[in-house]
Structure 1
Amino acid sequence: MKSSFRSRLCAGETLTGSWLTIGSTTTAEIMASADFDWLTIDMEHSAIGLGMAQEMIRTVEARGVTPLVRVGHNQPNLIKRVMDAGATGVIVPMVNTAEEAEQAVQSVKYPPRGFRGVGLARAQQYGFGFEEYQQWNHDNSVVIVQVEHIEAVNNLESILAVDGVDGFMVGPYDLSGSLGMPGNFSHPDVKAALERVEAIAAGSRAAPGFHVVQPDPDALEAKRAKGYRFLAYGLDSLFLGAGARKAATEARNPAGQSRG
């Protein structure tokens, strides 16, 4: 049914993806053609609704790329609906305790592991593939929790010990914000929090992840060197904006034109 993304993640492979924040199947198709391993449809910090998310999932999947969805909240009904729409897995924001991590897992999995209700939507081939999907969901659905608060850092060992948590994603802006310094990644307290995350991750089976928001290849390589292997790189609007600004600058100042 779907790719073996979870098995690749659990096997220790480094998987690089990006973020979709523009509610457009055209943008999703362009991004999915760029050879990322996965793409996350962001329903937390965008205007994307469930109907558009389902169409974007379909588009990404058609290009052979794994579609994930970041839900807006660790809420069972939200998670159930994006999984029913066909997402391979979810990225769940602001998971600060083991109990919250357990809720995220149970929202994705059917009984007896979880409490997800049974629906017959796109994921289940509209009622003609439930048994196949049920087995796929048990074996291959993906749960990624976001570590984006100092409380999550303090509870990280117990969060990652929850069965069914396949990985985590550091949210650098919110994590620094929880320390009273949003965006100040060079502050000693922020650095210390990240060092603690990296030390705990080194002894965990869960895949460590980080979102390198600004598309800087050197920053991406630095995170890879620190052991992060579930890596988000940039997002659609930044790629679009950076390309447009570069093109506009070149149009105003053609190569060889005198600036004197």
Structure 2
Amino acid sequence: MKSFSHKSSELKKKLKGNELSIGSWLTIPHQSIVEIMASAGFEWLTIDIEHSAIDYQTVQNLIGHIQGNNMASLVRVSENDEVVIKRVMDAGADGVIVPMVKNAEEAKKAVSFVKYPPIGKRGVGLSRAQHYGVKFDSYNKWVNSQAVIIAQIEHIQAVENLEAILDVDGIDGIIVGPYDLSASMGKPGMFEDEDVKQVLKRIDEITIKKNKPLGFHVISSDHVKMLEKINKKYSFLAFSLDFFFLGDKAREEMNKLSSKI
């Protein structure tokens, strides 16, 4: 079982210092996928329960495997909901990525769902996170100082309210969800559209001005796309996701083979 201050504290420190941290996305719920991703050198993995069929029991098992392979375990929750966030945190997650945060009030709710009173409003339960009841006091201190809370910026309203979101105490950073952000502008997936590019530039400028970590989910499995974001001072970067790494490599090699036979 994880300690309360290992990989999560390293990630928290990097977020505070705007230091580069690279993780990836998990949608295939199997121990083998975690171990393979760990071998690539990722610092953290995010279990996606917004756009996958992964259930809570599986989430807890995956958290254990991720932490057991020396990575921080984040969960991209299905919604900014008290019960959802409480359950994944009780399962032992190092933090949450909260989708579709559009304003400061929603950001404050996310923080309150992670932390216990008097800081937040999370109900107290005894599960894996609290070492099944024997380390609640230690966990309470850990969750207030080390739990990671990321607001996902994926709607044009969030961009309009970005400064206020970044000012919310307890929000450690943001991560841009490019598909939903462009969709909220009526231009889904049109990343080369000038309006979409200007909105992304605005996010960069505001976040850098506030001295907060820039985060982005680079969907492509091409490392060149990651370098582009690193060169733009993005520091909290999710590099692609499990099925794209698998599928892209398989298709690439099969295409090469097909051209030679």
TM class, shorter-chain normalised? over 0.9
1:209 aligns with 2:243: no
DSSP 3-state at the match of 2:127: coil
| Inter-partner Cα distance in structure 2 for 1:48 and 1:97 | 28
| Inter-partner Cα distance in structure 2 for 1:45 and 1:109 | 25
Give the aligned partner of residue 173 of structure 1.
179
Give the aligned partner of residue 107 of structure 2.
101
Aligned length: 255
DSSP 3-state at the match of 1:168: strand
Q: Gaps (5+ residues) in structure 2?
A: none
DSSP 3-state at the match of 1:23: coil
**How is 1:63-212 mapped onto 2 (pairs within 5 angstroms)?**
63-212=69-218
| Inter-partner Cα distance in structure 1 for 2:191 and 2:254 | 30
* Structure of higher RCO (CA pairs closer than 8 Å, 6+ residues apart): 2
| Inter-partner Cα distance in structure 2 for 1:20 and 1:137 | 23
| Inter-partner Cα distance in structure 2 for 1:127 and 1:29 | 29
Q: Which moved more, 1:146-155 or 1:4-13?
A: 4-13
Give the aligned partner of residue 220 of structure 1.
226
Deviations 1:211-247 (A, max 9, x none): 1101122211111111110001110000111122233
Moved over 6 A (4+): none
Once the two structures are TM-superposed, the CA of residue 250 in structure 1 deviates from its matched residue by 4.5
Conserved in 1, the CA contact under 8 Å of 2:97 and 2:149? yes
Conserved in 1, the CA contact under 8 Å of 2:91 and 2:129? yes
DSSP 3-state at the match of 1:202: helix
Letter in 2 for 1:87: A
| Inter-partner Cα distance in structure 2 for 1:138 and 1:177 | 35
Conserved in 1, the CA contact under 8 Å of 2:48 and 2:77? yes
Q: Normalising by structure 1, what TM-score? A: 0.95
| Inter-partner Cα distance in structure 2 for 1:43 and 1:116 | 20
| Inter-partner Cα distance in structure 2 for 1:249 and 1:186 | 27
Give the superposed CA RMSD.
1.2
Letter in 2 for 1:156: L
In structure 2, relative to structure 1, the CA distance for the partners of 1:109 and 1:181 (3 Å cut) is same
DSSP 3-state at the match of 1:229: strand
Once the two structures are TM-superposed, the CA of residue 200 in structure 1 deviates from its matched residue by 0.4
Q: Percent identity?
A: 50
Deviations 1:140-182 (A, max 9, x none): 0010000000000000000000000000000101111011110
Q: Normalising by structure 2, what TM-score? A: 0.94
Once the two structures are TM-superposed, the CA of residue 252 in structure 1 deviates from its matched residue by 4.0
Deviations 1:32-57 (A, max 9, x none): 22210111000001011111111111
Q: Gaps (5+ residues) in structure 1?
A: none
